[in-house]
Chains A and B, each alone.
Chain A
C-alpha cells in the first residue's frame, strides 16, 4: 500500500516531533525512501526549525540584562525615597 505525497505532508510536523503511531510511521518512511521531493521537504522543514531554534536568530539587545536588573532593583528594594516625601 502506498500513500500519496499530500498525505505525507500532513504528517511532517508529527513526524518531526516523533508523534506518529508506528504503523503510519512505517508507511511514511517507506514513502520517503522512494520520494525525493517529500524527503527534501522534510529535510528543509527540519532545517528551518533548526534555524528558528538557534540562539543567534533571536538575539538580545546589548545591555538588555543590565537594564532589566536595574529596573528590577528599583522594584525589589522598594521605591527610592523621593525628595518630596520626607514624612515617614
Chain B
C-alpha cells in the first residue's frame, strides 16, 4: 500500500474556499499542524505557557494573513516560518534571551565534534521511549543546543520537514542546513547518549531474556 501523504486534504482548494468566505474551514486546514506549531515554539522558548500563547498567536496571524500565502511554498513551510518568527520574537522579549544569544553565528567554528563512545545503547529504543524521564532529558537537551543548531534540528528531525523546506523556512541555504543539522545531531548524540547508557535498565542478558 502506498504511504499516505501526511496532508491528504487538498490544501490549495481549502485555502481558496477559506479566502472566499468559508472561514470555518480554517480549522480543517490547520488541524494537521496544530502540534507542529506548538512544538516548534516550545523547543525555542522552553516554556509551556509562552509556547501556547505563541502557537495561538501564530495561527491567528496565519488566518489574518492567509491571503498573502502565495502557494509558492507548502502551507506547512509557510506556517512554520511564522511559528519560528513568533518563537524568536518571544525569545528576544524574554529574560533568558541574554544567556541564549540569537546572534550565535558560530557556523564556522570547526570544533571537533567527537561523538560519545558507547557500545551498549544500540537497539531500537523502545524501552527508553517508555520512560518519561528520558523524554524529559531529551527535551531539556534539545533546548541546550545553540539556537542556530536547535532550529534546524527542530524542523528536520522533529517536524520532519525536508532540507529544502527547512532552508526555505529559515531563509538559509540548503548547504547550511546540512552542516548545522550534522552538528546538531552530533551534539545531541554526545550530550544524550552517556545519559541514556546510564539510565538504561540493567540488561538481563541474552540468555536471561530467553529463559521463561
> What is A's interface to B at a CB cutoff of 8 Å?
9-10, 12-14, 16-17, 19, 36-37, 40-41, 43-45, 47-54, 56-58, 60-61, 64-65, 67-69, 71-72, 75-77
Contact = CB atoms under 8 A, between A and B. Distances in A.
Contacts of B63: 72, 75-76
Contacts of B153: 52
A49 B185 contact: yes
B167 interface: no
Contacts of B117: 37, 40-41
B68 interface: no
Interface of B: prevailing SS: helix
A53 to B, nearest CB: 6
7 A-B pairs with least C-beta separation: A13-B182, A43-B122, A58-B39, A45-B189, A41-B115, A40-B119, A47-B125
Interface of B: 23-24, 26-27, 34-35, 38-39, 42-43, 48, 52, 55-56, 59-60, 63-64, 113-125, 128-129, 134-135, 138-139, 142, 153, 157-158, 160, 163, 178, 181-182, 185-186, 188-189, 192-193, 196
Nearest to A36: B119
A43 B23 CA distance: 47
B131 to A, nearest CB: 10
A47 B124 contact: yes
Contacts of B124: 47, 50
**Which residue among A36, A47, A53, A75 has the maximum number of chain B CB atoms within 10 Å of its CB?**
A47
Contacts of A9: 113-115, 186
B138 A68 contact: no
Contacts of A12: 115, 182, 185-186
Nearest to B137: A51
B135 A56 contact: yes
